[in-house]
A and B are shown apart, each in its own frame.
Chain A
Amino acid sequence: MKAYLTRRYMFSASHRLHSDAMTAEENRATYGKCNNPHGHGHNYALEVTVSGPVDEPTGMVCNLTDLDGFVQREILERFDQQNLNVLPDFAASVPTTENLCIVIYDILQRGFRYAHLEKVRFEETMMNSFEYSGDGPLCK
């Protein structure tokens, strides 16, 4: 039977929303306080949802240690306590939480082999959240 497993992780990072394609005025008008040249930070909550048939011998969609190990190695160690703007992942895009969703989704999609990736969900603050599930519509 198919089940969906969601695991929540936390990391902290700084960013500045600024597009080289815009003038200084446009950047300020578009990004407001987020365009402050020195940047600012968030405690991001990342939720990763994977799905698959529940394996009968183990009762699991996937072993949590495999998911935790992958996220720790490929995501938390690379993004936690970092300035997102200087990471290669954002060399050509603005580190909005929308783009962060896509970057993290792509890392999981490329490398995580133990279950099907359904979606990633980010809470940038308690007041806003973002979800991405590739090109298709969101899962349930």
Chain B
Amino acid sequence: MVYLTRKAEFSASHYYHNPEFSAEENQRIFGKCNNPNGHGHNYTLEVTVKGEVNPRSGFVVDLKQLKDILHREVLDAMDHRFLNKEVPEFLTRIPTTENLAIAIWQRLAPKLKAAQLHRVRVYETPDLFVDFYGEA
């Protein structure tokens, strides 16, 4: 089994707000992230796939295909977007880094054929990242 990681970057804005919380609760739990006009990050995404090396191609996965899937499923939908308003998953879920990693996993996993998705890592800043392995 060989693991291959592809990196991508995207920039997006978001804010944290749960309509079921009071204004005070939202402010207490989410702090500055609750500013309704949003704020932005340069996200770095690392997608790791795993699989056996194909004896003919020498590849775990065709990197061009992986790149195309990443662009189509994730970057086209999220790059330079306001996540709360423009990405369907976040109309009902708060676009935390945790939920972003889960949403990206759910977008990619069904589209990958040759290799299996192993990990989605999302850096919100160089000092903060979340890993998701598809665990329930």
Quick one: given A6-B130, A7-B128, A8-B127, are A58 and B135 in contact (CB under 8 Å)?
no
- Output the least CB separation between A52 and chain B (Å): 10
- Output the least CB separation between B131 and chain A (Å): 4
B97 contacts chain A at the CB level, 8 A cutoff: yes
Indicate which residue in B18, B95, B119, B130 contacts A57 across the interface (CB closer than 8 Å).
B18
Closest to A2 in B: B135
Indicate which residue in B20, B95, B132 contacts A59 across the interface (CB closer than 8 Å).
B95
Chain A residues, CB < 8 A from B127: 7-9
B102-136: CB near A (< 8 Å → 1, else 0) gives 10000000000000000100000011111111011
B86-100: CB near A (< 8 Å → 1, else 0) gives 000000011111110
- Output the least CB separation between B91 and chain A (Å): 13
B16 contacts chain A at the CB level, 8 A cutoff: yes
Indicate which residue in A6, A54, A57, A65 contacts B128 across the interface (CB closer than 8 Å).
A6
65-81 of chain A: CB within 8 A of chain B: 65
Distance between Cα atoms of A7 and B31 in the complex (Å):
18
Quick one: given A3-B102, A65-B31, are A59 and B16 in contact (CB under 8 Å)?
yes
Indicate which residue in A4, A9, A54, A58 contacts B18 across the interface (CB closer than 8 Å).
A58
Judging by beta carbons under 8 Å apart, are B29 and A61 in contact?
no
Closest to A118 in B: B131
Count residues of chain B with CB under 8 A from any CB of chain A.
27
Judging by beta carbons under 8 Å apart, are A2 and B136 in contact?
yes
Closest to B133 in A: A140
A126 contacts chain B at the CB level, 8 A cutoff: no
Distance between Cα atoms of A9 and B129 in the complex (Å):
12
Chain A residues, CB < 8 A from B30: 58
Chain B residues, CB < 8 A from A5: 97-98, 128-130
- Output the least CB separation between A48 and chain B (Å): 11
Quick one: given A54-B102, A57-B18, are A6 and B94 in contact (CB under 8 Å)?
no
Distance between Cα atoms of A31 and B133 in the complex (Å):
40
B101 contacts chain A at the CB level, 8 A cutoff: yes
Distance between Cα atoms of A80 and B20 in the complex (Å):
40
- Output the least CB separation between B63 and chain A (Å): 23
Among B29, B98, B101, residue most surrounded by chain A Cβ atoms (within 10 Å): B98
A1 contacts chain B at the CB level, 8 A cutoff: yes
**Which 5 pairs show the lowest CB-CB distances between chains A and B?**
A59-B94, A59-B96, A2-B135, A4-B131, A8-B127
